[in-house]
Amino acid sequence: MPPVANTIVSILFDGLAWAMFLFIISVGLSVTMGLMGVVNLAHGAFAMAGGYLVITATASWGVPFLPSLLIAFVAVGLVSVLLERSLYSQLYGASELDQVLLTIGLTFMVIAVYTYFYGPQPQSIHVPSYLLGELHLGDRSFPTYRVFLIAVGAALVAALWYGFEGTKIGAMIRAAVDNRRMAQSVGINVDRLFTITFAVGSGLAALGGGLAIQLLGLTPSFAVIYLVFFLLVVAVGGSGSIWGTLAGALVLGISDTAGKYLFADAGSFVIYAVAVLILLVRPAGLYGRE
Amino acid sequence: MDASRPLAPAAGRDESGAARTRALSFLARRDRYHVAEALPWIAALAAFFIFPNQMILGGQTLIMILFALSLDLILGYAGIVTLGHAAYFGLGAYAAALLITDLHWSEPISGLACAAVVAAIGGFFSGLILLRYRGLALLVLTLSTTIMLQQLGNLFRDFTGGYDGIPGINISPLFGRFDYDLYGHTYYLYCLGVLFIAFYVVRRIVYSPFGQALVGIRENVARMHALGSPVHWRLVIAYTISAAFAGIAGALFAQTNTLVTLGVFDFDQSAAVLMMLILGGAGWLYGGFVGATLYMVLQNELAKMSPEFWQFGIGAILIAVVLANRHRVFGKLVRRVRALGFGAKP
């Protein structure tokens, strides 16, 4: 393969893996924001909590890697229901400032608790051997774990697409995002809908956190470091939309990877520049409504 | 805008006459100095004599009060929620630092002025764009602006020193006479003087017609548009002024700390100043005094036990403050107390 094509394939492949990670975590944030307008800055903390649960499950309880991802999804989803009922329910109709402050406060508390129990040092994880190594395709080889990440992401996109477009609850969510008051007046219980969406979204964040450890490592500050990326994806994609989140994740994931490949020094600058440019042209995001 | 309510001729003519007089006298008096307003300054001077060994912490607290005051102008009065106010603090800090290390101009007061101008220019041009946005887009854009400045600083690390920072920022004696001691006594008085002047200026701005227009924009932006108020320009000007004061705070930080790193642009810095202002209450000028002092003292004490303890505590306090403000009875009580001494509370 000529070197240029080689670089392009690398950028697309790594960018796709990075985009899938961004999508898995951000999709819950996007849909809950579209439903209730709550800016949840604690979303990164759910991802971080999921990551630590996967580490504990695999290292201390002897659970295999894949089931422990499922445990993280379910457990964090359930805990988030408690938080939603007790704390977040206070925020409906609150000012943006109150939402920002309460969720920053929650994030700090969660970071403090995890630092206390796990320490500030980065954690690593032992993934099963069939996810290590490389897959050979033509004259290129790709890291198996990233292929796995892309596959999981693609499966989730398909599942969420079916859930949104093919089921009754998906139709109810779309209706409530479009026009909450109208949805309520035809008898949709938007509060309960929100609880369910919030739980699934937080569970997915936990799943994403578990999947990310192998690539990024895990420290308690994961909750803030990557939060910026999730917010960027939601803002660029437009809140309340799965396709928007997917588009945002792909654009930012691939441009970020391209930036790091092509301009080693200014690389981390690219993702912000791209996001800002898109928002300047489309303030409500790619799929958002004005 | 509380005052606008009695002015509206809703009731019969007879009652509205009395209400009108009351409202007018309230409007005419509300910018007068209340005795209680001397309290924070007396406390700050008293602290100088009572805790002579804590003056380094004291100086840092004064700087954060100034930073919180600058945020109050746009958050508390104009109602702009930003997650990136550290950008202007950082610009000011770097301007003051580079002035000394690269241009060898070490006179402190002109250093502050230079920092204010640089931060104001940054605030003006970013504000022109940022203030067209609301909601999530504004939060993300302010946050991104700050991180982009940090990344730029890292890109030009030959010039800025990158994450290692610029060491050895030594300012020449204040007014050419007063040198700086190890215990931070001169620094403390220097910061206090700067804060006092800045506070006076901000207070004048807040009670001017311009300040009233900002409150109007916060309370009912549609009405301000309908009145023909140049909303965007008002916000840009307020943002520029706020950035200038944040820059002065940053410059004081650089001058008293002798080291500036790219850490000044961290999200934590923007979050911390927001928390300080909220702890003390936004929109009444004194929020920074109460909030920053509480924050710095608590941080100092709790972090001694363990950093996690401090982080957990500040998170819990923040949640408690939000819930208490939203509580029907308690929230009203807080607003009453704040309106008590200072007719200032808009």
Per-residue pLDDT of A10-32, as tens digits, reads 889 999 999 999 999 999 899 88
Q: What pLDDT is stored for residue A91 in this prediction?
A: 82
Say if CB B275 and CB B314 are below 8 A apart: yes
How many Cβ atoms are within 10 Å of A117's Cβ, its own excluded?
11
Percent of chain B having pLDDT more than 70?
Answer: 89
pLDDT digits (tens, 9 = 90+) for A140-172: 888 889 999 999 999 999 999 999 889 999 999
Note the pLDDT of residue B257: 86
- Given this model, what pLDDT does residue B5 score? 46
Q: Which residues of chain B make contact with A107, given a CB cutoff of 8 A?
A: 315
The string of DSSP codes covering B255-281 is: HHHS-B-GGGGSHHHHHHHHHHHHHH-
Mean pLDDT of the B301-326 span: 86
The answer to whether residue A106 neighbours chain B at the CB level (below 8 Å) is: yes
pLDDT at residue B341, rounded to an integer:
43
The verdict on a CB contact (< 8 Å) between B315 and A102 is no
Contact B151 A283 (CB under 8 A): no
Give Cβ neighbours of residue A209 (< 8 Å, ≥ 6 apart). Answer: A25, A46, A47, A48, A49, A50, A51, A54, A72, A218, A222
Provide mean pLDDT across the span A227-256: 91
Reported residue count of chain B is 346
Q: Which of A109, A252, A260, A287 to mutate to test the interface with B (most CBs of B within 10 A)?
A: A109
User: Of A97, A266, A284, which is closest to B81 when you measure between CB atoms?
Assistant: A97
Residue B346 has pLDDT above 50, yes or no: no
**Residue from the list B137, B145, B310 with its beta carbon closest to the beta carbon of A283:** B137
Handedness of CA B59, B65, B68, B73 (dihedral sign): negative
pLDDT at B36 over 80: no
Q: How far B111 CA sits from the closest chain A CA (Å)?
A: 30
Average pLDDT over residues B270-280: 90
What's residue B339's pLDDT?
A: 58
- Yes or no, beta carbons of A268 and B151 under 8 Å apart: yes
- Nearest Cα to A245, choosing from A258, A257, A236? A236
pLDDT at B3 over 70: no
pLDDT, tens digit, 9 for 90 and up, residues B58-94: 889 999 999 999 999 999 889 899 989 999 999 999 9
Please identify among residues 207-266 of chain A the ones whose CB lies closer than 8 Å to any CB of chain B. 224, 228, 231-232, 234-235, 239, 265-266
Q: What is the mean pLDDT of residues B231-260?
A: 93
pLDDT at A289: 66
CB-CB under 8 Å, A115 with B307: yes
Residue of A nearest to B308 (CA): A112
Nearest to B140 among A107, A108, A231 (CB): A231
Closest partner CB to B311 (pick from A112, A235, A272): A112
Optimal mutation site among B319, B325, B328, interface A, most CBs of chain A within 10 A: B319
What does the pLDDT read at residue B220? 87
Burial of B210 (0-12, 13-18, 19+ CB in 10 A): middle
Q: How confident is the model at residue A200 (pLDDT cuts 50, 70, 90)?
A: very high
Is A39 an 8 Å CB contact of chain B?
Answer: yes
Using CB atoms, pick whichever of B141, B145, B315 lies closest to residue A106: B315
Does any CB of chain B come closer than 8 Å to the CB of residue A98?
yes
All domains of chain A in start order, with CATH: 3-281 (1.10.3470)
Strand partners, A140: A137
Distance from CA of A197 to the nearest CA of B (A): 20
Residue of B nearest to A34 (CA): B136
> Residue range B206-232: average pLDDT?
89
Query: How high is the mean pLDDT of chain A?
Result: 89
Does the structure show a pLDDT above 60 at B6?
A: no
Q: Cβ–Cβ of A273/B148 closer than 8 Å?
A: yes
Contact A205, A77 (CB under 8 A): no
Could you tell me if A269 lies within 8 Å of chain B, comparing CB atoms?
yes
d(CA A210, CA A74): 12
pLDDT at A1: 66
Instruction: Please tell me the least confidently modeled range out of A2-6, A220-224, B40-44.
Output: A2-6
State the smallest CA–CA distance between residue B316 and chain A in angstroms: 6
* pLDDT for the residue B2: 44
Mean pLDDT of B299-304: 84
* pTM for this entry: 0.86
Which chain B residue lies closest to A276 (C-alpha atoms)?
B141
pLDDT at position B50: 86
- Region of A187 (left: φ > 0; alpha: ψ -120 to 50; beta: rest) is left
pLDDT at B338: 60
Using the predicted structure, report yes or no on whether residue B7 has a pLDDT greater than 80: no
The H or E element spanning position B49 is helix B39-50
pLDDT of residue B67: 95
**What's the whole-number mean pLDDT along residues A200-208?**
94
Pairing of strands A140-143, A134-137: antiparallel
Name the residue among A109, A235, A280 with its Cβ closest to that of B129. Answer: A280
Question: What pLDDT band is residue B8 in, cutting at 50, 70 and 90?
Answer: very low
What is the rounded distance in angstroms from the CA atom of residue B331 to the CA atom of residue B325?
Answer: 4
**Predicted confidence (pLDDT) at residue B10 exceeds the cutoff of 60:** no
pLDDT given at position A233: 94
Distances (CA, A) of A142 to A3, A66, A147, A208: 16, 21, 7, 21
Q: Does A277 touch chain B (CB under 8 A)?
A: no
d(CA B98, CA B118): 12
**Selected residues 149-188 of chain A with any CB under 8 Å from a CB in chain B:** none
Question: Which chain A residues are closer than 8 Å to B148 by Cβ?
Answer: 269, 272-273, 276
- Average pLDDT of every residue of chain B: 84
H helices, E strands: number in chain B: 16, 0
Residue B166 to chain A, least CA–CA distance (Å)? 20
Best to test chain B binding among A40, A89, A101 (most B CBs inside 10 Å):
A101
Mean pLDDT (whole number) for B281-308: 87
Does A232 contact B144 at a Cβ distance shorter than 8 Å? yes
- Chosen from A279, A287, A290 to mutate, greatest number of chain B CBs within 10 A: A279
A127, A65 in Cβ contact below 8 A?
yes
For chain B, what are the domain ranges?
A: 53-268
Average pLDDT over residues A83-92: 86
Question: Which residue would you say has higher pLDDT here, B89 or A178?
Answer: B89
Reported as a single tens digit per residue, the pLDDT across B165-212 is 787 777 777 776 677 776 778 889 889 999 999 999 999 999 888 998
Closest CA to A152 of A10, A16, A28: A16
* Residue with more model confidence, A262 or B120: B120
Q: Which candidate in A38, A227, A272, A280 is best for mutational testing of the B interface (most B CBs within 10 A)?
A: A272
pLDDT-derived band at A130 (thresholds 50, 70, 90) equals confident
CB contact under 8 Å between A87 and B319, yes or no, is yes
Confidence of residue B9 (pLDDT cuts 50, 70, 90): very low
